[in-house]
Amino acid sequence: MTQSEGLRRLQGIIDEVLEEVGPKTVEPDVDTIKRYCESIGESNPVYFDSDAAKSFGYRSAIVPQAYLLSLFTPIVNEFFVKGFERLFSGLIRGVIHTESKVVYYKPLFVGEKYVLRLESVSLEKKSGKKGDYYVWTLRTVVSNEGGEDLAYDQHTFFLKI
């Protein structure tokens, strides 16, 4: 297999698995958020009391920014579970997580529905002192039901070939 064939094959597998996983709808509820806050020692009532949140100018209780990663974990895990055998049966020999970035555009509100989706942002073949590898960037995006992106969690990986 040539290097460009390997890159196309990997991109095809990634695209197939992304299609299988598809978008997910989530609705953070007040009980879950309250338990989450208790577990991390967060006592600010804006996260679980709508009246407190309204006193700070929010329309209702807000989802803690750190909780966003809890929302994203199941969809990312599903991607790797569904794609593991196809990705790691001879195509990829190792993975190194090299970068992570979380960006928030707007707050999320407790009790509202959101859509999570995975995106393959980029996939490139590179060469270095230790051989050839791919650089892959995966992004998990949360948007409102109207399709407006509210935040994302982006990860870059070196995939040893």
- Whole-number mean pLDDT of the chain? 94
Beta-bridge partners for 11: none
Domain ranges in the chain are 3-160
The number of beta carbons lying within 10 Å of the beta carbon of residue 81 is: 11
- Inter-CA distances, 67 with 20, 31, 35, 108, 153, Å: 25, 13, 11, 10, 12
Per-residue model confidence (pLDDT) at position 82:
94
Is domain 3-160 classified as CATH 3.40.50.970?
no
**Token pair for 44:** 């600010």
pLDDT in tens, 24-70: 999 999 999 999 999 999 999 999 999 999 999 999 999 999 999 99
Q: Which residue, 18, 16, 119, 118, is CA-closest to 71? A: 118
pLDDT in tens, 70-102: 999 999 999 999 998 998 887 888 899 999 999
Could you give the maximum distance between any two Cα atoms of the chain, in Å? 62
5 has pLDDT over 90? no
3-state secondary structure (DSSP) of residue 153: strand
